[in-house]
Structure 1
Amino acid sequence: MRVLVTAGGTSERIDDVRGITNFSTGRLGSLIADAYAEKENSDVTYIHGKTAILPKNQNIKKIEIESVDDLLNSLETCLKQTNFDIVVHSMAVSDYYLAGTASQDQVVASLAKASQANLVATDIQLQEALETSFKNASESAGKMSSDLGTVYMQLKQTPKVIGRIKALQPATTLVGFKLLVDVPESELISVATRLMAKNSCDYVLANDKTRISGDQHVGLLLTKDGTYTYFETKRDIAQGIVKETTQGRES
């Protein structure tokens, strides 16, 4: 049985020494990977962020990534080289990457130039002026000066990684994850159900950040028929996902 687990968080670079990341520790993902590795004749691959907690089982193949691009490249390489029975995509993937930075002076100068060229600059012209200032700033390498009083950052949406999994391996059993913050359980289930349908997931683990503290971790494992199983700890979630996805499966 071949299993691929993604865990931890991605990080998008601001410059050579700074980055934008999230608070994911990869703890749950590491427990899931270890739980699969306990199964007889299992072969587990673990794609993880640089600061993610690693599984304890030494037989698990580990692949470290940093950015969303790194994740996509590693994920696609794995899926093209190996047929996985199960993919558990628990990684917290950055929604945005840094397209460019600009100082306040650069932004003001670009907008002033656009306004001088046109007495009434259109939204499109102003946007083009901003794009120019960000593009010029993003071309500089090294470390951004810490003397700048105000820095503007241009963030653009990253590709949706989960959508690539079934496109590359339609037959794999896919477990997706959805994290929201302080929402009614009905909304959490509704959003997770839409994620499942959009990305052809077989299961989705729906959880709320306000109900996660240490190893206490309330999660709902949704299935395609609309039913779900309720868990209260990370270890229970890991064992539950493994049990649900391996029932009736040959080792």
Structure 2
Amino acid sequence: MKILITSGGTREKIDEVRSIANHASGSLGKLIAEKFLTHGHEVTLVTTKSAVKPNKHAKLSLIEITDVSSLIQTLKPLVKSHDLFIHSMAVSDYTPVYMTDLDEAKQAKDLTKLLMKENQEQKISSAAEYQVLFLKKTPKVISLVKQWNPQIRLIGFKLLVGVPKDELFAAATKSLINNQADYILANDLSEITADTHHAFLLNQNERYEAFTKPEIAQLIYEKGVEHD
């Protein structure tokens, strides 16, 4: 099988020296990639510069991206040529549009005009005591996958923080249905530590529990190749 995996966290640029980043190490994606490589599968890992990565392997292809835009451009052709896509990357929900000092924002009679502006400086001035940063929503990458390749098997991730299990499962099920995924890994940030990672891999009929990253990688491998 040809396996496509994303890992790490995207970074959205404010100017040439500042950005908004998602704090994801890529460690789970690394373990998943290694699990498939161990069993002889071809793996393409789309990741970020700062993410941890597997050692070089004859059947491993590494591609680095930065932001959501570069992620979409990279994934579109790859999704069309792979059998299974495991989307574990932490993708930014918003990207910067324009940053200005508080006085300009307060004086603006029409905020939509500010949303049409772009910062031209390589480094936005830090002279002002307060700055206002306008953000716009990024496309949901997982929602595009089945448009690109209706036949690809898709395993997505849903991360919430400090919620009841019923709420976590409901959010994961909604993502499962809306994105036509085969499985969603539901996890809560409050249950992730250096040594543990409590998560549930679920579809509409089944739910599998794991307590560590190696257990998650094993579960995803087993379900990913189940119908191969």
Q: TM-score, normalised by structure 2?
A: 0.95
Amino acid across the alignment from 2:147: A
Which residue is 1:98 aligned to? 96
Percent identity for Structure 1 against Structure 2: 37
Q: Does 2:113 correspond to 1:132? A: yes
Q: How far did residue 248 of structure 1 move?
A: 4.6
Which residue is 2:171 aligned to? 191
User: What is the root-mean-square deviation of aligned Cα atoms in Å?
Assistant: 1.3
Distance 2:46 2:195 in 1: 21
Distance 1:32 1:230 in 2: 16
Amino acid across the alignment from 1:21: A
Amino acid across the alignment from 1:45: T
Which residue is 1:67 aligned to? 67
Contact 1:4–1:44 (8 Å) recurs in 2:
yes
For 1:1-251, list aligned pairs within 5 A.
Answer: 1-40=1-40, 42-59=41-58, 60-80=60-80, 82=81, 84-111=82-109, 129-136=110-117, 138-225=118-205, 227-249=206-228
Distance 1:191 1:203 in 2: 13
Question: Highest CA radius of gyration, 1 or 2?
Answer: 1
Distance 2:115 2:125 in 1: 15
Distance 2:153 2:204 in 1: 12
Residue by residue over 1:56-94, the C-alpha shift from the partner in whole angstroms, topping out at 9 and shown as x without a partner, is: 3423101100110010000012124x2x11100001100
Which 10-residue stretch deviates more, 186-195 or 55-64?
A: 55-64
Amino acid across the alignment from 1:159: P
Please state whether the residue corresponding to 2:47 is helix, strand or coil.
strand
Amino acid across the alignment from 1:103: D
Contact 1:9–1:21 (8 Å) recurs in 2:
yes
Which 10-residue stretch deviates more, 240-249 or 4-13?
A: 240-249
Amino acid across the alignment from 1:133: L
Size of the alignment, in residue pairs? Answer: 227
Structure 2 portions without partners, runs of 5+: none
Please state whether the residue corresponding to 1:240 is helix, strand or coil.
helix
Q: TM-score, normalised by structure 1?
A: 0.87
Q: How far did residue 132 of structure 1 move?
A: 2.3
Please state whether the residue corresponding to 2:192 is helix, strand or coil.
strand
Distance 2:116 2:122 in 1: 16
Runs of 4+ in 1 over 6 A off after TM superposition: none
Structure 1 portions without partners, runs of 5+: 112-128
